[in-house]
Every structure is written in C-alpha cells, then in structure tokens.
Amino acid sequence: MKISLKTLTTAVALSVGLATAALAGDPVQINTVNGVATYPDGYQGTPVRAADEDPFLSPTNSVLILIDYQPPILMGVNSIDHETLINNTTGLIKTAVIYDIPIIFSHVAVGLNGYAPMIEELQSLAPNAVFIDRTNVNAWEEPEFVAAIEATGRKKLIMGGLWTDVCLA
C-alpha cells in the first residue's frame, strides 16, 4: 500500500488536532448506532493522562493494599461465602499483577505472636508484593506500613480488608 506525503501529512495533522482537542476538553463526536461506534478519521482514543493529573484510577497512579487476609480473621467473616471472597480477591490480585500495579500485603502479629500469616493461595499470586507484618491492629499506626505506601509514590489507594471497620480503619 502506497501512501502519499500529502495523505500522511493530513492524517498526522488530523491526529494531532484531535488529540489536542481532546486534551483541551473539546468533545470528539463519536456516534454509536446498534452498538457499534463510528469515529472521526484519525481518532486514536482518549489521550493518556499524566499519573499525577489523572483523576481516575490507572496503573500508573494506584497501589493495591490488602490487609489481614489471614485464616483466623477469615473465620469471622460471615457476610460472604469464603470461596467467593477468595475468588474475588484472586481476581483483584491477578489484575494488579497484569497491570504492574504495586501490591502491598499486610498481616498482623505473625512475628510477634505466631499468628497465621496471609492466606498462602493469595500470597503466591503476587511474588513481588511487599509484605508488612504489623504489631498494631490499625495499619495506619504502623510506621513501616505507611512508609511502604509512601515509597510507591502512588496517591490512589485500592484497599481491601476482611473486616473493613478494623482492617481498613
């Protein structure tokens, strides 16, 4: 396929113009008919925003934090079937791994009191995760936990805990 310089120049100018318009907040007219969208010529999609300017969660501005997914704590969860809970958490961890989102796992009293650590099935899904063993029930009172989150440089926290009134307090 042979493309003329004029056609290529027009396509580049249109792409730059559409990207500039999208960045400037000018809406790009996209029409959907019967579930199929049509786009202006040269449209390349929504431009990627800088991590520090993106108001939405993205792989570049977020961190996944899972707190106290330990067998003894799981036993106290009665609001959801345990198999479903583990399946949902597995999907969350796998998604974070695929998108290279930093992961922090934290459990309580493993080294201090010999409490059972995080559920092995979940641990194994993220071999590069940072682990924090806390002595405080409230993770935010543990300096090592706070430092691990700050070290990621991420401002959007995706958090999960088995007992949100305690684990995420």
CATH class of 62-167: alpha beta
What CA–CA distance (Å, rounded) separates 97 from 125?
8
Q: List Cα–Cα distances, 54 to 22, 51, 65, 151, 156, in angstroms.
A: 14, 5, 20, 19, 10
Tens of pLDDT, residue by residue, the chain (169 residues): 444 444 433 333 344 444 444 455 567 788 899 999 888 888 888 888 898 888 999 999 999 999 999 999 999 999 999 999 999 999 999 999 999 999 999 999 998 888 899 999 999 999 999 999 999 888 999 999 999 999 999 999 999 998 877 767 6
DSSP 23-88: HTTPPP--EEETTEEE--TT---SPPPPTTT-SS--TTTEEEEEE---HHHHTT--SS-HHHHHHH
Domain map (residue ranges) of the chain = 5-38, 62-167
